[in-house]
A and B are shown apart, each in its own frame.
Chain A
Amino acid sequence: MLPPEATAADRELLRRSMGLDQPLVVQYLRFLGDLAVGDFGLSYRFNQPAMSVVLERVGHTLVLTFTALGIAVLIGVPIGVMSAVYRDSWIDLTGKLFAIVGQSAPPFFFGVLMIAFFSVHLGWLPTGGTGGLQYLIMPAIALGWYSAAGTMRLTRASMSEVLEAEYIKMAKIKGLPQRVIIYKHALRNACLPVITFTALQLGVLLGGAVSVEAVFAWPGLGFLILKSIEDLDYTIVQAAVTLIALSFTAINLLVDLLYAWIDPRIRYD
């Protein structure tokens, strides 16, 4: 943190100003005490409270994550439904191929591929940074693609199961239009696990955002954590990781509550 030519007095001053002259136990207790009131200390790089630096970046990550989630649902659910309805047809095979390839492409590599094609080769989209909508398209697709594949698989599995139920056969025999059977009777009953999965994907996307942000120089949390690890700015890393852990846990709790709210058969006693 100090240049090599710093004097012993400089070092001592820095140690004392950061509280490193205290015993480890004292340091740790002080850290916990500050943590309890949301004080993560100063970032030495920004010379600002670490949490406020982190909070400034959260917005970018949230925009990216939720757009990616939207993409995952908008691509994954329709393809999953089609795959289940036209099971074993070429539509299904294409859908499966999409899912298998999607789940095998790390988001960062998919991002590099898109940059190579859309930015470098075709010159359509900027390679990175932030600004208008055109900056969001590629990062969001790179991030959402992986979850879209998972969503598709689960929708397909859940739909296939529901489509075999007696009441679907009954609806067919009644002569209801296929559209009504699929979207009103089947999808409604099949969407429960998909909703849970989608909500849990929020956490996965939060993790995946790190590498995607690094690829596209998207100024979010992940990019900040990465830079801070490189610069040994640990207060920022601690603040960011704590924030992510808190939101991750909160999401899991919300999903559990949501689950019980959507499906009244499930009750937590």
Chain B
Amino acid sequence: MTNAGTPAKSRPATDAAMVAQSAAVLTVLPRRRRQWAQSALVFVAAAVLALILSAAMLPWAFSRYEPNAMDLMATLQAPSLEHLFGTDALGRDILCRSIYGAQISIFVAACAVFLAGAVGTALGILAAYFRGATDAIIMRLADVQFSLPAVILAMFLVGAIGASILNLIIVLTLANWARFARVIRSEALSLRTRDFVLLAELAGASPLRVMVRHIAPNILSSLIVLATLDVGVIVILEATLSFLGLGIRPPDPSLGTLIADGRGYLATAWWISVLPGLVLMSLILACNTLGDYLRDRLSPTLAMKW
């Protein structure tokens, strides 16, 4: 997975020096430094994610304000000890709204990733197991999803069924299941020809039993990796939709709507947009970093050399 690179640091004067440098390349030193940098990054990412998750789960422990409580005596206040993230035009505490916003964003993303993963895996295994017409139908459905950029597909669907939290989860699921289905299908296809699956069939196991007990468990690690990497993508997608007014509707805060709310105040009160946006970025950053790490550890076949 990680092999020592050949950093051509400087131009060696002689061939002998060149050969010596090539040999030096194989020492463990750069590798150790890389591992240190990676584990530091993963540690920071885990800490950030833990902080955001605990704030989202226990908002009252992190903020003594209410997300929609207005305080017209304290409007558009800059960040201070009283209001760490400042207040908006209605005197609402931005930190508190960011925490509740993160709560909704995480809830929606978690539901959507879970559903997309479940639907995608089930359809992927079905397609690989039965092949033929089942496979053709499922994969053509996946092609429909792949024929549009996810944001546009999601916008189109929200436009058709309307914006609400439940609809948002449905739309995000519909815009993301095919990625799972494709990868899982190709893995299940190769598992299907393995001896233990053939033997299970010979022993008289029903198709359902083969799929659930013999194929599904062997796909789990890829599924975990795909799902973790998908969280960041879905959080971005949800924030984009909410930012465009097609996701979570005001007054409910979501990180996307908070950024949209502050756009009119960039000149006078930058914190309304920028601070919730930084929370959103840290959330995505943490998810992506942990996803990359899990992929490298659990599923080398999916890993891109990093």
Contacts and interface: CB of A to CB of B under 8 A. Distances in A.
Contacts of A169: 6, 22
Interface residues of A, number: 60
Given A88-B30, A88-B33, A203-B149, A168 B305 contact: no
Given A116-B270, A157-B304, A249-B147, 5 more contacts: A120-B266, A175-B18, A229-B246, A244-B149, A248-B147
Interface string B213-230: 000000000000000000
Q: Which of B8, B41, B158 has the most CB of A within 10 A?
A: B8
B45 to A, nearest CB: 9
The 6 closest A-B pairs by CB, nearest first: A207-B149, A87-B5, A104-B285, A229-B159, A207-B151, A104-B284
A207 B175 CA distance: 12
A44 to B, nearest CB: 15
Given A85-B8, A178-B8, A248-B147, A115 B18 contact: no
B259 interface: yes
B156 A237 contact: yes
Query: Would you call the interface of chain A mostly helix, strand, loop, or mixed?
Result: helix
A10 interface: no
B243 to A, nearest CB: 5
24 contacts: A88-B33, A93-B37, A100-B41, A106-B243, A109-B243, A115-B266, A116-B273, A120-B267, A153-B306, A156-B306, A157-B306, A173-B15, A173-B19, A181-B8, A211-B240, A211-B243, A211-B244, A214-B243, A225-B152, A226-B155, A229-B159, A241-B152, A244-B149, A245-B147
Contacts of A204: 149
A87 B149 contact: no
B49 interface: no
B305 A161 contact: yes
Nearest to B29: A88
Contact of B263 (A112, A168, A181, A222): A112
Interface stretch (B56-64, B119-127, B128-136, B274-282): B274-282
A89 B281 contact: no
Given A89-B7, A106-B240, A112-B266, A206 B152 contact: yes
Interface residues of B, number: 53
Contacts of B263: 112, 115, 215
B8 A100 contact: no
B168 interface: no
B82 to A, nearest CB: 23
B34 interface: yes
Interface of A: 84-89, 93, 100-101, 103-106, 108-109, 112-113, 115-116, 119-120, 153-154, 156-157, 160-161, 163-164, 168-169, 172-173, 175, 177-178, 181-182, 203-204, 206-208, 210-211, 214-215, 222, 225-226, 229-230, 234, 237, 241, 244-245, 248-249, 252
Interface string B133-147: 000000000000011
Nearest to B31: A88
Interface string B229-262: 0001000100110011110000000000001001
A112 B259 contact: yes
A178 to B, nearest CB: 5
A130 B243 CA distance: 21
Q: Which of A113, A156, A163, A206 has the most CB of B within 10 A?
A: A113
